[in-house]
Structures are given as structure tokens and as C-alpha cells.
Amino acid sequence: MINKIKELRSVIRYHRDQVGDDRCWVDDYKVWNVLPEIRQPPRLPTYEDGMKQCRLFFKHRNADQIDKIAADAILDKTKWDQDLNSMSQEQLRSELTKVKNAIIRHKGIINRERTKKDDEELYSILPEKIPADFRLPCEEDFLGTKRTDAGCPQFWKSHEHCHGEHNIHQWGPCKK
């Protein structure tokens, strides 16, 4: 059970720790897909649909500044999962359920756009209480075409000739 909790926490941490151009709505799938009961392989969207999601991501999950680190934050990564060592089997089951439920709640948002607050709620189940850096590049760099090596338009264009199975988390073109 300890290993499963660590695995789930690890994927949530990966999501939290993405910064700048690396923050992306497709990373939600990495979190959701650790639970077989809600696994949903990402489909390659059309350029237009991918850009629509990117614009919504920029609008609802961007911040001007990083939040302050809480006084009770655990900064030493080697101590992030130490709380598990002293838990009973019942406490571990409860912790596993808590982490799974946080992931399920995050995935279950369907009647509105996912927001920065929704991501913060997901991260709040982590014992270290480290804030995410929700700052994205400026709108022109994130959603515009000025840069050829970054930004949503270039990412989706890199996948325009992809068909069949592919890794939506990496720049294209996809290997057949």
C-alpha cells in the first residue's frame, strides 16, 4: 500500500512541478491514468480543439505570481513520504482512498473549466504543502506563433501528420 500511495503522490507531484511552457492541460491525463477505474487515454485533438483547450488553460490556470510557501511546508524531498512509515494499515488504507478520491474529483470536473483552484485542491493532499508555480509564459509566447520552438500552436502543428497511436505528451511528429 505504501508503494501505491507513493506512486500516486509522485504523479501528482509531477503535475504540480511543471513550470512555464511545460505546464499543459494534457498533463491532467497523466494523473488520471494512474487509476485504472478512470483511465482515459488522451486522443490527439484537431489543431483547433487543441488550441481551444490551450486558450482555456491559459485563461483559467495561469497566475501572475507564485504563491508563498507555507510555514509548515516540508522542503526536504527525502521527508515528503515519511508520514507513511508510522501509519497503521487502516491509516494507509484511508490515505490511499484520500489520494484516489482527490484524483477522481479532479477528473470529475465536467460542467465547467478546470481552474488553478482545482489543481491546488489536488495538490493539497500532498504532505509537503509546496505551492505550484502557475505562471505561464506571456500570452503571445504561449498561444502565439512568434516562437518556432515553443508554444501551443507549434506543439499542435508538430502533430499534424500523426495518426494512430502516439504520445500526446511529446512533441511530434509521432513515430509509426
Tell me the one-letter amino acid at 34.
V
d(CA 138, CA 152) in angstroms, rounded, equals 12
CA dihedral 171, 105, 124, 36 (to 10 degrees): -60
In the predicted model, what is the mean pLDDT of residues 46-60? 95
Judge whether 154 and 21 are in contact, CB under 8 Å: no
Query: What value does the mean pLDDT of the chain take?
Result: 93
- 166 pLDDT band (50/70/90 cuts)? confident
* Chain centroid, CA 170 distance in Å: 14
Q: Beta-carbon neighbour count of residue 110 at 10 Å? A: 6
pTM of the model: 0.93
The whole-number pLDDT of residue 175 equals 67
CA distances from 26 to 16, 46, 84 (A): 13, 14, 30
Position with higher pLDDT, 70 vs 149: 70
Rounded to whole angstroms, the maximal C-alpha distance in the chain is 55
Q: What are the DSSP E strand ranges found in the chain?
A: none
Per mean pLDDT, which range of 18-22, 55-59, 83-87 is the poorest? Answer: 18-22
